[in-house]
Amino acid sequence: MSLDHRLSAEHEELRRTVEAFAHDVIAPKIGDLYERHEFPYEIVREMGRMGLFGLPFPEEYGGMGGDYLALGIALEELARVDSSVAITLEAGVSLGAMPIHLFGSEEQKREWLPRLCSGEILGAFGLTEPGAGSDAGGTRTTARLDETTNEWVINGGKCFITNSGTDITGLVTVTAVTGRKPDGSPLISAIIVPSGTPGFTVAPPYSKVGWNASDTRELSFDEVRVPAANLLGERGRGYAQFLRILDEGRIAIAALGTGLAQGCVDESVKYAAERHAFGKPIGANQAIQFKIADMDTRAYTARLAWRDAASRLVAGEPFKKQAAAAKLHSSTVAVDNARDATQIHGGYGFMNEYPVARMWRDSKILEIGEGTSEVQRMLIARELGVGGGRG
At the topology level, CATH places domain 9-122 in Butyryl-Coa Dehydrogenase, subunit A; domain 1 (1.10.540)
Distance between CA atoms of residues 51 and 74, nearest Å: 11
Beta strands in the chain (DSSP E): 122-126, 142-146, 151-162, 169-180, 186-194, 200-202, 216-227, 231-232, 276-277, 280-281
**Structural domain boundaries in the chain:** 9-122, 124-236, 240-383
Query: What's the pLDDT at 185?
Result: 87
CB 82 within 8 A of CB 358: yes
CB 371 within 8 A of CB 327: yes
Beta bridge partners of 171: 123, 194
Q: Does the annotation mark 367 as catalytic? A: no
Count the neighbouring beta carbons within 10 Å of the beta carbon of residue 327.
Answer: 35
Do the domains 124-236 and 240-383 sit in the same CATH topology, yes or no?
Answer: no
Q: Is 204 exposed, middle or buried (0-12, 13-18, 19+ CB in 10 A)?
A: exposed
Query: What's the pLDDT at 359?
Result: 97
CB 175 within 8 A of CB 238: yes
Report CA-CA distances (Å) from 61 to 106, 117, 148, 286.
Answer: 10, 8, 34, 53
Distance between CA atoms of residues 318 and 321, nearest Å: 8
Query: What's the pLDDT at 6?
Result: 82
CB 358 within 8 A of CB 34: yes
Distance between CA atoms of residues 348 and 275, nearest Å: 11
At the topology level, CATH places domain 124-236 in Butyryl-CoA Dehydrogenase, subunit A; domain 2 (2.40.110)
**H helix or E strand, kind and range, residue 14:** helix 9-21
Q: Which of 129, 267, 367, 370 is catalytic?
A: 370
Query: What's the pLDDT at 330?
Result: 98
Report CA-CA distances (Å) from 165 to 83, 117, 140, 161, 389.
Answer: 18, 18, 22, 9, 40
Per-residue pLDDT 10s for the chain (391 aa) are: 455 678 899 999 999 999 999 999 999 999 999 999 999 999 999 999 999 999 999 999 999 999 999 999 999 999 999 999 999 999 999 999 999 999 999 999 999 999 999 999 999 999 999 877 667 668 899 999 999 999 999 999 999 999 999 999 999 999 999 999 898 889 999 999 999 999 999 999 999 999 999 999 999 999 999 999 999 999 999 988 988 999 999 999 999 999 999 999 999 999 999 999 899 999 989 999 999 999 999 999 999 999 999 999 999 999 999 999 999 999 999 999 999 999 999 999 999 989 999 999 999 999 999 889 999 999 999 999 997 644 4
Count the neighbouring beta carbons within 10 Å of the beta carbon of residue 258.
Answer: 32
Query: What's the pLDDT at 134?
Result: 62
Half-sphere exposure of 15 (CA within 13 A, CB side): 14
- CATH code linked to domain 240-383: 1.20.140.10
Phi and psi torsions of 227, nearest 5°: -60, 150
CB 100 within 8 A of CB 112: yes
Distance between CA atoms of residues 363 and 261, nearest Å: 9
Distance between CA atoms of residues 172 and 96, nearest Å: 7
Query: What's the pLDDT at 130?
Result: 86
Phi and psi torsions of 177, nearest 5°: -80, 120
